[in-house]
Structure 1
Amino acid sequence: MMSSAINVTLIHGTKKHSVQVSPPTATDAVASAHELQVCHLAQAAYQATEVPVHLQKLIFKGKSLSTDSQQSLESVGIRNGAKVMLIGKKSLEEDEHTKQITRITQEVGSNEKKQKDIEDEISGIEKGYLQADLIQDALKKLRKRLFACNEEFMKHLEKLDGMVMNDVHQSVKNKRKKTVDYIQGLLDKTDSLTNRIEHLQTRQDDR
């Protein structure tokens, strides 16, 4: 009886994935004495390719395998080093989520450049590069532009928060979290720049 982890080469289109199929935990309801089953291979294939189990077609030596089957891998001839073909695509929902997150990341990047321009102008004023009688007006405009950047960042966070991701692959969820953390960092920077503008305005008022 096959019970230890095995390595399988999964052929998906033009790509080859080295997939480890591990024995289930002792609490796995579908497990029978911890033997590896076809359904466990399907789950491993999902982790490697993001193709949902219900959209997979696994083929071994010309025979199609049922991805929800509790049939043991050993009984169908799959052993360590076996080659299995996978036919199937990522779900449309996951593809759409990935595209949306990519679009948002690109938009955030464009907004970050605007933030960087504002930071450079603040630094110039701090270093005394701007004529004194122009500083107050410049600071007001910078604060207005910074507020606009902040609003855009918040809108992007709302879009990400509104995405329903109950059954999508973990990598998609990780991609969203990475983008959220990226935006949070930029919001923190906005707060820092706002404080620098306020300090400059106070310094001008005291003159």
Structure 2
Amino acid sequence: MLKVTGSAMRGPVSLLFPTPVFAASSDGDSQPSAPSLLRDELSLYTAPPPSQKPRNVQPEAGQLEQSVATLREFTEPYTGWCKDTYSKVKPKVQSVVQCWSDSYAYLKDPPKDFFPRAGVICFTGVLGLFLARGSRIKRLMYPAGLMTVSTSLYYPEKAAAVAKATGDSVYDRAVQTYAALEKMVKAPSKSARDSETKP
């Protein structure tokens, strides 16, 4: 039996170049006169023949992996729908959160006369509910009307701006409704005239 006792070159350089290796007998006597062997000739460093290609065998999927894969396949259409819904709902939720945060910041440091004015406005709403007995329409109209009047007394500039915007939108709707009604009225009369002139 032969042992490797040393080499002429050691370190990283020996990896680049063929290195002679001296063999010794099993009794421990080195034999420098013995023929030297190259590193590639030793059985320890032999490469597998080219016909044998290493195979990467994938382990079989376990029960947990199979159930997760089945769950993913089942929920895939729903996750796409949820993403679309989330992208549509997200701006609305962010606007609501921003409104609440602004309201909280406003109520945390309110103006001087805010709470007395808010109390009077709420009292007029309760008074409207008390006065509107017997009819559901009155229960809607009286509190809303009294609260609007009391709010406009305390905040006249904002009330004027809201009234102007509301008046403009009502006027635009009225013009659109009038135009639509005019088209509906003129269309049958033209068809009737055409049918009378043809014979």
TM over 0.5: no
What's the TM-score once normalised by structure 2's chain length? Answer: 0.27
The structure with the largest strand share of the pair is: 1
Structure number with greater CO (CA < 8 Å, separation at least 6) is 1
What's the TM-score once normalised by structure 1's chain length? Answer: 0.26
The structure with the largest helix share of the pair is: 2
Larger radius of gyration: 2
